[in-house]
């Protein structure tokens, strides 16, 4: 499913969640802002092998291509739950517009897509899936983003990427149309680790912040304690002759844990072999070297003397090694045990209680990883076979997602006007939603898949004011301007080259080469008065002098009474001389006073007036 969100001036703005609503996996959000439609991420769900694997794009259009409905697509990072449906969307459903992602994401994304395609199509024999050529064609539509660079998608829509930590190349995106804006975090981490820095964004005060909430109720313990616990468990398992399987995704936590084990093996002088899925280590090292600026400060500083990603103790893994006797540690992909090499090794090692599997990250529902973490000891595998799980199952969060504390920290950093939570579990999100609303006094939404959320915005429109008009206002006296108190100014608003300027009416006429026209309102009032027309007019003059204090009231020789710009004339009705017809005329500046006078005179003149 897709999330949909719209932002509109002084009105409701919908946002639809196509995937990762109250769920983790298949992230896909459709945002409508200032008349522009943007798709944020286009992921797949690891727990499904049927139509539910990809977002439901029929929500956007029932037939035809997506190009005419979308202004752009933005991918936050290379994990498949954020980019896995991209070739399906662009090549099979049909989209020819720009796809924005950072340089590292552009480099790594096609490799992971091809790996996944091989597992799904070549090994499992599934149909209705994208081809290698489709991945290549899809990547031709990619426009790379640099951090902190404002990219103009079109005349009105601009986007800017910020560092998100999480994995190499992950970015948060600030989307702006006119004075309205949205920040989408993708997945992010607010604490630095051994190879990446912490997420950061400036105080951009968006109308809406869309944040992941994978660990909505978790406040993680100290990283050092977790690392010590991890090393202790691995060491104990190795000492008793067991094998340790660590399912990881090719890039990200894998490098973090490799650095950790490499250092520990060196310090303890351990001899048990450590292996990493073949091919991916080399590719990972290549990309970390290529995009060294995306890593943390320590790695950048020491990179010239020693490349942290060239490991002495970690070797490439061969399938046959899984049957070798004796202890070993194996990093294998993918990270949720839903397919591939990690699942194959798990099946071989599951029956021995000496062995151990350590799940270092989040597992979505439906995956083998999720099942064993929930204590399932008998697993139904393909072909109706059953697998008995006897090995030790450990969960240790080395996940590079923000915890509850990190999410609150980001809100303080960006200061959004509204909040929307995605990529999390409903119960946990509900708890975090309450905390956010209580602490920050802002509305927080948590739509389910396919649900549309409307967010009200109140955009401020910048207007330049002419110096002459300001001087004239100051000359009139009154209090000095206070930024916290609004003050009414009268002038003419001129729009030139998409900017607004407030000037005096005289200056506007001069600039635009126009002649001044006077607009006057007229009103007829009947009243009963037995006197002559001139006497009635004099009686009106006397009555208004007594009622209106502080106004300029004149009885003119031409037979009219003037109150400010308001002119009052009297004539008798042809049918009845006692019925007088009053004609009131005023300029638009005195509209309130004109309305007041017409109401007053309709009540008639008091008796006793001379």
3-state secondary structure 408-457: HHHHHHHCCCEEEEECCCHHHHHHHHHHHHHHHCCEEECCCCCCEEEEEE
- Residues near 420 by beta carbon (within 8 Å), at least 6 away in sequence: 5, 15, 208, 209, 210, 211, 444, 445, 446, 447, 453, 455
Find the length of the chain.
610
Whether residue 400 is predicted with pLDDT greater than 80 in this model: the reply is no
Known catalytic residues are 212
Asked if residue 342 lies in contact with residue 335, where contact means CB atoms within 8 angstroms, the answer is yes
pLDDT value, residue 279: 61
The model's pLDDT over 564-596, given as tens digits with 9 standing for 90+, comes to 888 999 888 878 888 888 898 988 778 888 888
| Least-confidence region, from 80-89, 290-299, 322-331, 386-395 | 290-299
Burial of 65 (0-12, 13-18, 19+ CB in 10 A): middle
Q: Which band of pLDDT confidence, cut at 50, 70 and 90, is reported for residue 303?
A: low
Q: Which band of pLDDT confidence, cut at 50, 70 and 90, is reported for residue 110?
A: very high
pLDDT value, residue 397: 72
* Alpha-carbon span 547 to 538, nearest angstrom: 14
Whether residue 305 is predicted with pLDDT greater than 60 in this model: the reply is no
Q: Which band of pLDDT confidence, cut at 50, 70 and 90, is reported for residue 13?
A: very low
* Alpha-carbon span 85 to 54, nearest angstrom: 6
| Whole-Å CA distances, 500 to 152, 308, 360, 462, 532 | 21, 55, 55, 7, 54
pLDDT value, residue 18: 44
Q: What is the mean pLDDT of residues 244-263?
A: 82
| Least-confidence region, from 87-91, 307-311, 528-532 | 307-311
Whether residue 7 is predicted with pLDDT greater than 60 in this model: the reply is no
Q: What is the mean pLDDT of residues 251-269?
A: 85
Q: What is the mean pLDDT of residues 17-25?
A: 46
pLDDT value, residue 8: 44
Asked if residue 164 lies in contact with residue 76, where contact means CB atoms within 8 angstroms, the answer is yes
pLDDT value, residue 491: 86
Whether residue 488 is predicted with pLDDT greater than 80 in this model: the reply is no
Asked if residue 24 lies in contact with residue 425, where contact means CB atoms within 8 angstroms, the answer is yes
- Residues near 477 by beta carbon (within 8 Å), at least 6 away in sequence: none
CB atoms within 10 A of CB 503: 21
pLDDT value, residue 485: 72
Whether residue 390 is predicted with pLDDT greater than 70 in this model: the reply is yes
pLDDT value, residue 12: 35
- Residues near 2 by beta carbon (within 8 Å), at least 6 away in sequence: 16, 17, 18, 19, 28, 29, 30, 39, 55, 56, 57, 59, 60, 449, 450
Q: Pairing relation of β-strands 386-388 and 378-380?
A: antiparallel
Highest mean pLDDT among 145-159, 217-231, 366-380: 145-159
| Least-confidence region, from 8-12, 450-454, 591-595, 599-603 | 8-12
Q: What is the mean pLDDT of residues 117-134?
A: 81
- What phi and psi values does residue 191 have, to the nearest 5 degrees? -120, 135
- What phi and psi values does residue 147 have, to the nearest 5 degrees? -60, 140
Q: Which band of pLDDT confidence, cut at 50, 70 and 90, is reported for residue 63?
A: confident
Radius of gyration, alpha carbons of the chain: 36
Whether residue 521 is predicted with pLDDT greater than 50 in this model: the reply is yes
Question: In the chain, what percentage of residues exceed pLDDT 70?
Answer: 87
Place of tokens 């008998």: 378
* Alpha-carbon span 394 to 398, nearest angstrom: 12
- Paired residues of 317 in beta bridges: 277
Whether residue 441 is predicted with pLDDT greater than 90 in this model: the reply is yes
Whether residue 475 is predicted with pLDDT greater than 50 in this model: the reply is yes
pLDDT value, residue 189: 86
| Least-confidence region, from 270-279, 323-332, 427-436 | 270-279
Q: What stretch of H or E contains 176? A: strand 171-177
Whether residue 17 is predicted with pLDDT greater than 50 in this model: the reply is no
In three state form, how does the secondary structure of 94-119 look?
HCCCCEEEEHHHHHHHHHHHHHHHHH
Q: Which two tokens stand for residue 430?
A: 């509900």
Helices (H), 161-244: 223-239
pLDDT value, residue 21: 44
Q: Which two tokens stand for residue 146?
A: 């640099």
448 vs 6 pLDDT, higher one: 448
Phi-psi region of 377 (alpha: psi -120 to 50; beta: other; left: phi over 0): alpha
Whether residue 11 is predicted with pLDDT greater than 50 in this model: the reply is no
Name the nearest CA neighbour of 75 among 44, 46, 51, 118: 44
pLDDT value, residue 116: 82
* Alpha-carbon span 97 to 10, nearest angstrom: 30
Q: What is the mean pLDDT of residues 257-269?
A: 90
* Alpha-carbon span 46 to 51, nearest angstrom: 12
426-440 vs 404-414: helix crossing angle, rounded to 10: 40
Place of tokens 């942290």: 308
Q: What stretch of H or E contains 509? A: helix 505-512
- CA 603 to chain CA centroid, Å, is 60
* Alpha-carbon span 432 to 424, nearest angstrom: 10
Could you give the dihedral angle defined by the CA atoms of residues 158, 164, 170 and 173, in that order, rounded to the nearest 10 degrees?
A: -10
pLDDT value, residue 444: 92
pLDDT value, residue 226: 81
- Paired residues of 318 in beta bridges: none
Q: Which band of pLDDT confidence, cut at 50, 70 and 90, is reported for residue 1?
A: very low
pLDDT value, residue 610: 61
283 vs 440 pLDDT, higher one: 440
- Residues near 349 by beta carbon (within 8 Å), at least 6 away in sequence: 243, 245, 322, 355, 357, 391
* Alpha-carbon span 167 to 248, nearest angstrom: 12
Q: Which band of pLDDT confidence, cut at 50, 70 and 90, is reported for residue 6?
A: low
Whether residue 66 is predicted with pLDDT greater than 50 in this model: the reply is yes
pLDDT value, residue 22: 44
Whether residue 426 is predicted with pLDDT greater than 90 in this model: the reply is no
pLDDT value, residue 97: 95
Whether residue 23 is predicted with pLDDT greater than 50 in this model: the reply is no
pLDDT value, residue 220: 54
Q: Could you please report the per-residue DSSP string of 269-318?
A: T--S-EEEETTHHHHHHHHHHHTGGGS-HHHHHHTTT--TTS-SSEEEE-
Name the nearest CA neighbour of 212 among 22, 451, 53, 80: 22
pLDDT value, residue 10: 36
Q: What is the mean pLDDT of residues 325-332?
A: 92
Whole-structure pTM value: 0.68
Asked if residue 523 lies in contact with residue 598, where contact means CB atoms within 8 angstroms, the answer is yes
Place of tokens 């005023």: 586
* Alpha-carbon span 334 to 172, nearest angstrom: 24
């Amino acid at each position: 499913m897709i999330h949909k969100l719209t932002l509109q001036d002084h009105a409701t703005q919908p946002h639809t969640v196509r995937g990762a609503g109250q769920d983790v996996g298949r992230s896909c959000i459709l945002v409508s802002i200032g008349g522009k439609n943007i798709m944020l991420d286009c992921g797949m769900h690891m727990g499904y092998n049927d139509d539910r694997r990809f977002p439901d794009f029929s929500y956007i259009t029932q037939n035809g291509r997506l190009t005419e409905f979308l202004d752009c697509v933005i991918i936050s990072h290379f994990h498949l739950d954020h980019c896995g449906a991209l070739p399906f969307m662009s090549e099979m459903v049909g989209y020819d517009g720009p796809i924005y992602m950072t340089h590292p994401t552009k480099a790594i994304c096609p490799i992971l897509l091809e790996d996944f395609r091989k597992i799904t199509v070549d090994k499992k024999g599934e149909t209705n899936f994208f081809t290698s050529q489709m991945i290549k064609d899809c990547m031709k539509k990619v426009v790379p983003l640099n951090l902190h660079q404002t990219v103009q998608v079109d005349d009105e829509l601009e986007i800017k990427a910020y560092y998100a930590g999480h994995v190499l190349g992950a970015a948060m995106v600030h989307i702006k149309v006119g004075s309205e804006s949205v920040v989408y975090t993708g997945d992010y981490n607010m604490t630095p680790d051994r190879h990446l820095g912490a997420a950061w964004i400036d105080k951009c005060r968006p109308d809406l912040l869309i944040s992941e909430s994978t660990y909505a109720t978790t406040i993680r313990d100290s990283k050092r304690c977790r690392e010590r616990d991890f090393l202790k468990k691995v060491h104990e398992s190795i000492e008793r002759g067991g094998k340790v399987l660590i399912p990881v995704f090719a890039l990200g936590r894998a490098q973090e844990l490799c650095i950790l084990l490499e250092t520990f093996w060196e310090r303890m002088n351990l001899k048990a072999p450590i292996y990493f899925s073949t091919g991916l280590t080399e590719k990972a090292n290549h990309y970390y070297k290529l995009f060294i600026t995306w890593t943390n400060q320590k790695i950048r500083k020491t990179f010239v003397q020693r490349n942290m990603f060239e490991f002495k103790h970690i070797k490439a893994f061969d399938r046959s090694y899984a049957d070798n006797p004796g202890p070993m540690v194996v990093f294998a992909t993918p990270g949720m045990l839903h397919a591939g090499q990690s699942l194959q090794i798990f099946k071989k090692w599951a029956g021995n209680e000496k062995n151990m599997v350590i799940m270092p990250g989040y597992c979505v529902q439906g995956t083998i990883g999720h099942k064993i973490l929930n204590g399932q000891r008998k697993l139904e595998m393909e072909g109706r076979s059953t697998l008995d799980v006897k090995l030790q199952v450990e969960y240790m969060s080395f996940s590079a997602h923000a915890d509850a504390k990190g999410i609150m920290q980001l809100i303080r950093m960006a200061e959004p006007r509204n909040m929307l939570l995605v990529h999390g579990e409903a119960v946990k999100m509900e708890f975090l939603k309450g905390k956010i609303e209580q602490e920050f006094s802002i509305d927080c939404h948590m739509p389910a898949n396919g649900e549309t959320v409307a967010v009200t915005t109140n955009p401020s429109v910048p207007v330049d004011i002419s110096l002459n008009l300001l001087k004239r206002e100051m000359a009139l006296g009154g209090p000095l301007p206070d930024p916290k108190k609004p003050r009414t100014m009268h002038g003419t608003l001129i729009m030139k080259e998409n900017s607004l300027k407030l000037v005096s009416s005289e200056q506007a006429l001069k600039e635009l080469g126009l002649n001044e026209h006077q607009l006057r309102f007229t009103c007829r009032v009947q009243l009963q008065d037995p006197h002559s027309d001139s006497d009635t007019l004099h009686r009106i003059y006397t009555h208004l002098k007594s009622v209106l204090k502080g106004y300029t009231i004149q009885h003119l020789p031409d037979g009219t009474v003037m109150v400010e710009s308001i002119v009052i004339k009297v004539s008798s009705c042809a049918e009845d001389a006692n019925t007088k017809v009053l004609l009131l005329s005023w300029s638009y500046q005195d509209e309130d006073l004109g309305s007041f006078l017409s109401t007053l005179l309709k009540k008639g003149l008091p008796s006793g007036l001379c």
